[in-house]
């Protein structure tokens, strides 16, 4: 089956710093989603991005499907950005998740 790898596994930042999270996948996919899981376990949709680039405020994402990777950019990080970031790819009807990047932002 498709393998999804995320890097780095852990990231510690000071408030105001920028960061880039990476998601590699092993096969062609129908689409890709990025999520933020908050400390209570809720998965919050960030981007639905099978290809191209999207921006939403301080966050942006780029997926290069032909090279099988996606990047999530966080600029001017805030403490509320802390949590785990997952990418998930869709192959047929289900999402396959990576193991996540745990982000901690300190004031």
Partner 1 sequence: DTGVSQDPRHKITKRGQNVTFRCDPISEHNRLYWYRQTLGQGPEFLTYFQNEAQLEKSRLLSDRFSAERPKGSFSTLEIQRTEQGDSAMYLCASSSTGTSGGYNEQFFGPGTRLTVL
Binding stretches for partner 1 (CB under 8 A): 4, 30-31, 33, 35, 40-43, 45, 48, 86, 88, 90, 93-100
* CA contacts within 13 A on the Cβ side of 76: 3
Please say which residue, 17 or 96, places its beta carbon nearer to partner 1: 96
Least gap, CB of 70 to partner 1 (angstroms): 15
Least gap, CB of 86 to partner 1 (angstroms): 5
Residues 6+ apart with CB under 8 A from 12: 103, 104, 106
* Rounded Cα distance, 91 and 72, in Å: 20
The 3-state DSSP class for residue 34 equals: strand
Least gap, CB of 90 to partner 1 (angstroms): 6
Please say which residue, 30 or 79, places its beta carbon nearer to partner 1: 30
């Amino acid at each position: 089956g498709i393998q999804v790898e995320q890097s780095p596994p852990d990231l510690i930042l000071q408030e105001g710093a920028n960061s880039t999270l990476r998601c590699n996948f092993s096969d062609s996919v129908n689409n890709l989603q990025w999520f933020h899981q908050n400390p209570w376990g809720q998965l919050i949709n960030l981007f639905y991005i099978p290809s191209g680039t999207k921006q939403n405020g301080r966050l942006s994402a780029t997926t290069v499907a032909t090279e099988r990777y996606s990047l999530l950019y966080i600029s001017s990080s805030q403490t509320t950005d802390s949590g785990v970031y997952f990418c998930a790819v869709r192959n047929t009807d289900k999402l396959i998740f990576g193991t996540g990047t745990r982000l901690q932002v300190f004031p």
